Amino acid sequence: MSAAPLVVLVGPMGVGKSTVGQLLAELLGVGYRDTDDIVSEQGRSIAEIFVDEGEPAFRAIEKRAVHQALADHDGVLALGGGAILDEDTRASLAGQRVVYLSMDVEEAVKRTGLNAARPLFAVNPRKQWRELMEARSRLYEEVATVVVATDGLTPEEVTEVALNALELKDA
């Protein structure tokens, strides 16, 4: 039988999935994996893959990484912000404990600066972030077991809210 993650984190880039994921894993005594670490496997940054090969090529690499992690990782798993765009990935998340970490645009600006190092925000970052969230928020909600609004919360507070919502305190 294959493993399944104890918790899967989804949400937009910069929301704190990596930080909260590491805190959750530590508190639960399990391993942590981030599918954005596909970058290290590729030997290039996500931005380089976007520029060199385009978004479809990146999404194909991401999809493979997500499905591999869902099959063999039994700890806390953080997915890249766009991973939920793939229908097969969304289907694979059915039955999983999925936490959608959400934030509003002002929080996104504070946290990420919505800078050009993020390939999807090279021009007019606030407008692009809003459009991205209009396209993705319903998909995040579709796969989520729990939604945690992170606005104004520390990573520790977000972790606590997620643990309580998932009722994993004593897991």
pLDDT at res. 5: 92
Grade residue 122 by pLDDT with cuts at 50, 70 and 90.
low
pTM: 0.87
- Which of 5-9, 41-45, 68-72, 144-148 has the lowest average pLDDT? 41-45
pLDDT at res. 109: 65
* Mean pLDDT of the 73-83 span: 93
Separation of alpha carbons 162 and 159, rounded Å: 5
pLDDT at res. 167: 81
pLDDT at res. 141: 94
Q: In sequence order, what are the beta bridge partners of 10?
A: 100
DSSP helix/strand/coil, 99: strand
Phi, psi (5° rounding) for residue 148? -120, 115
Separation of alpha carbons 134 and 137, rounded Å: 6
Let me know: does 166 contact 146? Beta carbons within 8 Å: yes
Domains of the chain: 7-166 (3.40.50.300)
- C-alpha closest to that of 81 among 36, 138, 51, 125: 36
Q: Which two tokens stand for residue 138?
A: 């319903």
112 or 154, greater pLDDT:
154
